[in-house]
C-alpha cells in the first residue's frame, strides 16, 4: 500500500510563479523532498532506463509528514439561516431518481446533527423514503415500508405538523407499473418536537462531527422545496409548478432551481430569502429532469427541463489538503516536465512523484529568445485518464488486451481507495458515466515509473510516461523545446502558439476543446509546422470549466470508442452548452487538423510500417534522407513495433487534405487490433487486423497553404521506438529529419 502520495495545486506554472505541494504520509512520518526534471520515466531495462535529474531548489530538505484524506462524494450546501429552521410545521419535497436505492442509508436533504440527535433529515433507507427527526434528546424515524426502484422518478415529500401532532410521508412514482408496489402515503403520530440545530442544510449528504460528509446519495434530485407549513396531499403537485401558485408562494422558505446557473457550482434559490447554495465535488449538471419530455435535447433550449443534478458518492473535485511546501519557480528554470520527488526517510522504500510542467514566462517575456519548437503537453488528455479504473472495474478489460492484466502497487491502492476520484473512462459506483475530471488530487498514473495496464506488451506506458520517450529523444538530440500545455492553449488561444515554428504533440493528444482546436487550426493557417507524434488525436470534444482551473468535461455522445455512453438528451456540455462527443460528429474530424483520423485499436503487440509510393515523392526527400529501408519501425519498447495501440489513417472522405502524401502504412497487425466503432455502421465479420484494410497506421505529410506543413505518424507506439539501438534507427532518423527541416525558416511551397 502507498505510504506517501501527493498532488500539486496546479499542473503548470511559469517561472516566478509558485506551486504548492500537498502530501499525505501514512503514520505521519518524516519524509524528504526534492525537485527532479523528468527526462525518461520508463524503467524498462530494454530501453535507456530512468532519467530523473535532481534540480537544486529551496524545496530540497526534510519534512514532517502528516496524514491527509480525500472526502469524495458530491453534495449541496446551504449556509445556515434562521429562516431554514422553522420552529413549527414544515414540508419538504423533491423529485428523485435514485440509482442505488437499495443501499443502507442515503441522505436526500436535511439539517441533521447526529452528535446531538437534533434536526430533520429526509433519507432513503434500503429503498424506502424515511424521515428522521430529533429534538436533541431523542429521535424518531418514520419510513414508508415500500422500496423504490432504481432509475425511476418519484415525488418525495414529508411534512410535520406539531400542532396536530402528525407527521406525513409521500413516496409517489411518476410512472405506475402493474404489480410493482412502490407507492406509499402515510401519516403517523409525531412523538417529539424537532429542534433544528444551527447547521448548514445539506443535500445528498450528512455532516459527521469531524465535518466530513457521509451518507451520500446516488442519483438525481430535482426541485427541492421547503415550505413553512404542512401541505395537504392535494397541494403537492402544485409545488413543482413554475411559476409557483401564489397560495404556495406565501408559505415558501426556499425552492432551489437546478436549471439555472448550470455551468457553475452555484444553485439559485427562487424563494423569498435568497438562500442560494453551493455544490461541492462537482455533481453532474445539465441532467434531464423529472419533466423532460424529449422536446429539447439541448439544455440551453429548455433549462426548465434540465432541473436535475446527478449526485455520486465518488465525485471529487479538490482534495483540499494542507500544503506541505511550495516552490517559486526560478527565473532560469528551463521549460519542461518536472516532479516533486517525495520519499520516506525511514527506509520504507515508499516514494511518490508529483508531476508538474514549467511553461515559458507569461506575456511578452515568454515570446522573446525562446526555442522555435514547443511540445504541447496534452494535459486535457492526462486529466481524462487521471486515476483510470478501467482495468479494475471493467469485466472485458483482459479480453480487450489479449493478455493478463498487470496491476502496479498504485493500482492496488486505487482499487481500495476510491476517494481519489475517477477518470473520464470510469463509471461511478452507480454505473453512470464520469463526465468531469479535476487536477486537484493525487493522480497516480501521471507519474514517471508508472507502467500502465493499457500500454502494449513491453514497457506498458500510456499518456504521460509514454510521452517521456519523446522527451528523452529530444534530450539525447540536444534539441531544446518549450513545454506549453492544453490549459495554456485554452486560456491564450493562438497567441500561445505564434512564437513557435514547430509544435510537437504527445503520443495520444485525444481531448480538445473548440478553443484549443480553433487555435491549432489558426496557427496552421499562419504557416505553423505540426509534428503529430501519436494517434487518436483531436478525437473527443471537451469543455473546460469557466472558473475552476484544471477541470474538464466530456459527454460521450453518439458513438466512438466509449467505455460508457451519455444518456440521450444529455449530449451537451454543462460547462459550455456546446454539443459533446467526437470531433468527427461535430463536423471537424481529426483528419482536418492532422490529416489522419482514428481507424483501429488493440493492445497486444505493435507492428511495423512499409514504405508507400508517396515516400519517393521529391517533396518528401528530406524525410527519408539516410533512410533506405522499406520497413520502418519493426522494433520498439511499446509492443515491439512503431505502429501499435491506436492507429490513424488518411481518408479524404473524412477531410484528409488531397495533397497529403502517405509515406508508409503499417501492416501485419494481429486480430486483436480492430476497426473503431464509428467506422462500423453495419457489422461484418472482417473487422480485425488480418482482414480489414482499415486496420493500419499511415505515416503522412502535407503542406499547408501558408507555407507550413504537417507530419503525422498515426500511431501511439511511434515514440517508443525512438531509443532503439542507441537512438540510431529509422524511426529516430525520420523524426529528426522532419524536426530539423520544420525548424528551418524556408517555407514549404505548394
Query: Which residues would be at the binding site for other proteins (CB under 8 A)?
Result: 43-46, 392-393, 395-396, 398-399, 402-409, 412, 415-416, 418, 429, 449, 451, 457, 604-605, 670-671, 689-690
CB-based burial of residue 387 (10 Å sphere; 0-12 exposed, 13-18 middle, 19+ buried)?
buried
Please give the C-alpha separations between residue 561 and each of 192, 386, 557, 675, 679, in angstroms, as whole numbers: 56, 18, 11, 10, 10
CB of 387 to other proteins, least distance (A): 13
CB of 249 to other proteins, least distance (A): 44
**CB-nearer residue toward other proteins: 43 or 150:** 43
**CB-nearer residue toward other proteins: 414 or 738:** 414
If one counts every other C-beta atom within 10 angstroms of the C-beta of residue 653, the result is: 7
**CB-nearer residue toward other proteins: 323 or 392:** 392
CB of 648 to other proteins, least distance (A): 22
CB of 406 to other proteins, least distance (A): 5
**CB-nearer residue toward other proteins: 152 or 403:** 403
Omega of the bond leading into 243 within 30 degrees of 0 (cis):
yes
- Nearest Cα to 402, choosing from 603, 112, 628, 206? 603
- Nearest Cα to 13, choosing from 515, 381, 360, 516? 360
**CB-nearer residue toward other proteins: 295 or 431:** 431
CB of 576 to other proteins, least distance (A): 31
CB of 727 to other proteins, least distance (A): 21
**CB-nearer residue toward other proteins: 403 or 740:** 403
CB of 28 to other proteins, least distance (A): 23
**CB-nearer residue toward other proteins: 63 or 564:** 564
> What are residue 238's DSSP bridge partners?
none
CB of 453 to other proteins, least distance (A): 9
Residue 417 in grid coordinates:
481507495
Distance CA 364, CA 497 (A): 13
Place of cell 507519474: 447
- Nearest Cα to 270, choosing from 210, 230, 227? 227
**CB-nearer residue toward other proteins: 374 or 605:** 605
- Supply angle C-alpha 287, 292, 293, rounded to 5: 145
> What are residue 124's DSSP bridge partners?
106, 129
Residue 491 in grid coordinates:
486560456
Distance CA 38, CA 20 (A): 19
**CB-nearer residue toward other proteins: 411 or 486:** 411
Residue 546 backbone class (left: φ over 0; alpha: ψ -120 to 50; beta: rest) = alpha
CB of 392 to other proteins, least distance (A): 8
CB of 35 to other proteins, least distance (A): 23
Distance CA 355, CA 502 (A): 25
Distance CA 511, CA 744 (A): 30
Q: Which helix (H) or strand (E) holds 158?
A: strand 154-161
**CB-nearer residue toward other proteins: 166 or 392:** 392
Residue 516 in grid coordinates:
484549443
CB of 429 to other proteins, least distance (A): 6
Distance CA 148, CA 554 (A): 30
**CB-nearer residue toward other proteins: 461 or 470:** 461
Please give the C-alpha separations between residue 440 and each of 9, 68, 263, 546, 550, in angstroms, as whole numbers: 6, 14, 19, 16, 8
Residue 145 in grid coordinates:
415500508
Largest CA-CA distance found in the chain, in angstroms, rounded: 94
**CB-nearer residue toward other proteins: 327 or 401:** 401
User: How remote is the C-alpha of 721 from its chain's centroid?
Assistant: 29
Is the separation of the CB atoms in 601 and 562 below 8 Å? Answer: no
Is the separation of the CB atoms in 515 and 391 below 8 Å? Answer: no
CB of 721 to other proteins, least distance (A): 18
**CB-nearer residue toward other proteins: 186 or 406:** 406
CB of 609 to other proteins, least distance (A): 18
* CB-based contacts of 24, cutoff 8 Å, min separation 6: 4, 5, 6, 65, 66, 67, 68, 69, 321, 442
CB of 395 to other proteins, least distance (A): 5
Distance CA 26, CA 5 (A): 9
β-pairing verdict for 709-712 and 529-532 = parallel
CB of 44 to other proteins, least distance (A): 6
In order, the DSSP letters of 554-615 are E---S-SS-SS-PPTT--B-TTT--B-SBSGGGT--HHHHHSEEEEEEEEEEEEEEEE-GGG
**CB-nearer residue toward other proteins: 451 or 722:** 451
285 CB-side CA count, 13 A:
28
710 CB-side CA count, 13 A:
32
Give SS3 for 123. strand
Dihedral of the alpha carbons of 587, 589, 594, 597, in degrees to the nearest 10: -170
* CB-based contacts of 287, cutoff 8 Å, min separation 6: 220, 306, 308, 309, 310, 570
**CB-nearer residue toward other proteins: 236 or 695:** 695
**CB-nearer residue toward other proteins: 457 or 501:** 457
**CB-nearer residue toward other proteins: 161 or 604:** 604
CB of 73 to other proteins, least distance (A): 13
- Nearest Cα to 511, choosing from 435, 416, 408? 435
CB of 560 to other proteins, least distance (A): 23
CB of 596 to other proteins, least distance (A): 25
**CB-nearer residue toward other proteins: 408 or 526:** 408
Amino acid at each position: 500500500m502507498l505510504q506517501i502520495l501527493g498532488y500539486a495545486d496546479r499542473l503548470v506554472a511559469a517561472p516566478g510563479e509558485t506551486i504548492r505541494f500537498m502530501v499525505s504520509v501514512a503514520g505521519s512520518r518524516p519524509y524528504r523532498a526534492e525537485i527532479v526534471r523528468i527526462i525518461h520515466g520508463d524503467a524498462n531495462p530494454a530501453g535507456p532506463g530512468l532519467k530523473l535529474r535532481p534540480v537544486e531548489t529551496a524545496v530540497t530538505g526534510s519534512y514532517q509528514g502528516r496524514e491527509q484524506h480525500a472526502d469524495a462524494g458530491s453534495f449541496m450546501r446551504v449556509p445556515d439561516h434562521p429562516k431554514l429552521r422553522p420552529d413549527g410545521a414544515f414540508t419538504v419535497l423533491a423529485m428523485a431518481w435514485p440509482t442505488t436505492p437499495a443501499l443502507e442509508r442515503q441522505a436526500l436533504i436535511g439539517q441533521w446533527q447526529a452528535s446531538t440527535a437534533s434536526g430533520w433529515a429526509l433519507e432513503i433507507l434500503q429503498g424506502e423514503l424515511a424521515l428522521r427527526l430529533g429534538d436533541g434528546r431523542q429521535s424518531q424515524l418514520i419510513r414508508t415500508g415500500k422500496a423504490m426502484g432504481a432509475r425511476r422518478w418519484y415525488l418525495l415529500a414529508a411534512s410535520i405538523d406539531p400542532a396536530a401532532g402528525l407527521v406525513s410521508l409521500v413516496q409517489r412514482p411518476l410512472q405506475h407499473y402493474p404489480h410493482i408496489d412502490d407507492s406509499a402515503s402515510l401519516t403517523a403520530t409525531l412523538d417529539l418536537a424537532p429542534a433544528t440545530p444551527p447547521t448548514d442544510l445539506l443535500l445528498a449528504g450528512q455532516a459527521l462531527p469531524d465535518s466530513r460528509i457521509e451518507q451520500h446519495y446516488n442519483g438525481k434530485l430535482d426541485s427541492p422545496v421547503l415550505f413553512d407549513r404542512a401541505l395537504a396531499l392535494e397541494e403537492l403537485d402544485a409545488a413543482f409548478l413554475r411559476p409557483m401558485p401564489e397560495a404556495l408562494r406565501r408559505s415558501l422558505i426556499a425552492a432551489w432551481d437546478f436549471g439555472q446557473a448550470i455551468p457553475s457550482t452555484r444553485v439559485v434559490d427562487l424563494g423569498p430569502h435568497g438562500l442560494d447554495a453551493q455544490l461541492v465535488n462537482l455533481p453532474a449538471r445539465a441532467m434531464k429532469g423529472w419533466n423532460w419530455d424529449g422536446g429539447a435535447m439541448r439544455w440551453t433550449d429548455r433549462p426548465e427541463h434540465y432541473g436535475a443534478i446527478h449526485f455520486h458518492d465518488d465525485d471529487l473535485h479538490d482534495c483540499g489538503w494542507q500544503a506541505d511546501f511550495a516552490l517559486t519557480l526560478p527565473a532560469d528554470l528551463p521549460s519542461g516536465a518536472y516532479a516533486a520527488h517525495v520519499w520516506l526517510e525511514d527506509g520504507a522504500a515508499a516514494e511518490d512523484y508529483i508531476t508538474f510542467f514549467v511553461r515559458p514566462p507569461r506575456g511578452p517575456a515568454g515570446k522573446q529568445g525562446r526555442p522555435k519548437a514547443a511540445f504541447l503537453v496534452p494535459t486535457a488528455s492526462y486529466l481524462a485518464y487521471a486515476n483510470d479504473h478501467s482495468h479494475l472495474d471493467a469485466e472485458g478489460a483482459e479480453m480487450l488486451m489479449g493478455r493478463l492484466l498487470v496491476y502496479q502497487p498504485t493500482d492496488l491502492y486505487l482499487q481500495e481507495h476510491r476517494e481519489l476520484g475517477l477518470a473520464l473512462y470510469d463509471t461511478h459506483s452507480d454505473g453512470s458515466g464520469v463526465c468531469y475530471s479535476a487536477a486537484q488530487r493525487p493522480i497516480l498514473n501521471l507519474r514517471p515509473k508508472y507502467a500502465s495496464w493499457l500500454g502494449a506488451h513491453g514497457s506498458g506506458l500510456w499518456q504521460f510516461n509514454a510521452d517521456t520517450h519523446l522527451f528523452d529523444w529530444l534530450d539525447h538530440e540536444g534539441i531544446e523545446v518549450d513545454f506549453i500545455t492544453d490549459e495554456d492553449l485554452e486560456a491564450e488561444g493562438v497567441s500561445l502558439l505564434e512564437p513557435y515554428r514547430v509544435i510537437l504533440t504527445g503520443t495520444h493528444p485525444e481531448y480538445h476543446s473548440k478553443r484549443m482546436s480553433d487555435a491549432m487550426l489558426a496557427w496552421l493557417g499562419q504557416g505553423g509546422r505540426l509534428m503529430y507524434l501519436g494517434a487518436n488525436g483531436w478525437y473527443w470534444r471537451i469543455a473546460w470549466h469557466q472558473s475552476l482551473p484544471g477541470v474538464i468535461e466530456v459527454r460521450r455522445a453518439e458513438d466512438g470508442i466509449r467505455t460508457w455512453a451519455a444518456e440521450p438528451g444529455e449530449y451537451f456540455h454543462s460547462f459550455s452548452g456546446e454539443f459533446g462527443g467526437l470531433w468527427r460528429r461535430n463536423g471537424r474530424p481529426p483528419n482536418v487538423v492532422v490529416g489522419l483520423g482514428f481507424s483501429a485499436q488493440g493492445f497486444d503487440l505493435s507492428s511495423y510500417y512499409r514504405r508507400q509510393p508517396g515516400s519517393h515523392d521529391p517533396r518528401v526527400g528530406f524525410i527519408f534522407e539516410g533512410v533506405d529501408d522499406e520497413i520502418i519501425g519493426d522494433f520498439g519498447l511499446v509492443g515491439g513495433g512503431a505502429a501499435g495501440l491506436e492507429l490513424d489513417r488518411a481518408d479524404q472522405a473524412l477531410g484528409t487534405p488531397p495533397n497529403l502524401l502517405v509515406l508508409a502504412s503499417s501492416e501485419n497487425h494481429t486480430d486483436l487490433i480492430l476497426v473503431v466503432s464509428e467506422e462500423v455502421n453495419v457489422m461484418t465479420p472482417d473487422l480485425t487486423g488480418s482482414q480489414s484494410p482499415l486496420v493500419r497506421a499511415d505515416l503522412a505529410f502535407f503542406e499547408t497553404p501558408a507555407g507550413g506543413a504537417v507530419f503525422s505518424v498515426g500511431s501511439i507506439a511511434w515514440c517508443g521506438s525512438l531509443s532503439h539501438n542507441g537512438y540510431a534507427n529509422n524511426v529516430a532518423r525520420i523524426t529528426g529529419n522532419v524536426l530539423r527541416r520544420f525548424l528551418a525558416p524556408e517555407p514549404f511551397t505548394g
